Amino acid sequence: MSAPEIIRSDVTSTSKTRFTVALGDIASLPVDAIVNAANSSLLGGGGVDGAIHRAAGPDLLTECRTLNGCKTGQAKITAGYRLPAKHVIHTVGPVWNGGDRGEEELLASCYRSSLALARERGVRTIAFPAISTGVYRFPAEQAAGIAIRTSLDESKDGAFEAIIFCCFGDDMAALYDRLLPRELAGT
Residues that bind ligand APR in the complex, under the rule CB under 6 A: 25-27, 37-39, 45-51, 93, 129-136, 166, 168-169, 172
Asked if 117 and 89 touch (Cβ cutoff 8 Å), the reply is yes
Q: Compare residues 84 and 158 and give the one whose CB is closer to ligand APR.
A: 84
Asked if 81 and 94 touch (Cβ cutoff 8 Å), the reply is no
Between vectors from CA 79 to CA 6 and to CA 129, what angle results, nearest 5°?
Answer: 35
Q: Compare residues 58 and 169 and give the one whose CB is closer to ligand APR.
A: 169
Q: Compare residues 24 and 160 and give the one whose CB is closer to ligand APR.
A: 24
Smallest distance, ligand APR to C-beta of residue 41, A: 8
Smallest distance, ligand APR to C-beta of residue 37, A: 3
Smallest distance, ligand APR to C-beta of residue 167, A: 7
At 127 the three-state DSSP class reads strand
Smallest distance, ligand APR to C-beta of residue 122, A: 24
The amino acid present at 149, given as its one-letter code, is R
Tell me the DSSP string of 82-98: TSSSSEEEEEEPPPPSS
Q: Compare residues 142 and 159 and give the one whose CB is closer to ligand APR.
A: 142
Tell me the DSSP string of 38-68: E-TT-S--SHHHHHHHHHH-HHHHHHHHTTT
Catalytic-role residue among 25, 32, 49, 177: 49
Smallest distance, ligand APR to C-beta of residue 137, A: 7
Q: SS3 helix, strand, coil % of the chain, rounded to 5?
A: 35, 20, 40
* Residue 100 among the catalytic residues: no
Residue of 122, 58, 113 lying closest to 86 (CA atoms):
122
Q: Compare residues 54 and 182 and give the one whose CB is closer to ligand APR.
A: 54
Phi/psi of residue 3, nearest 5 degrees: -60, 145
Catalytic residues: 49
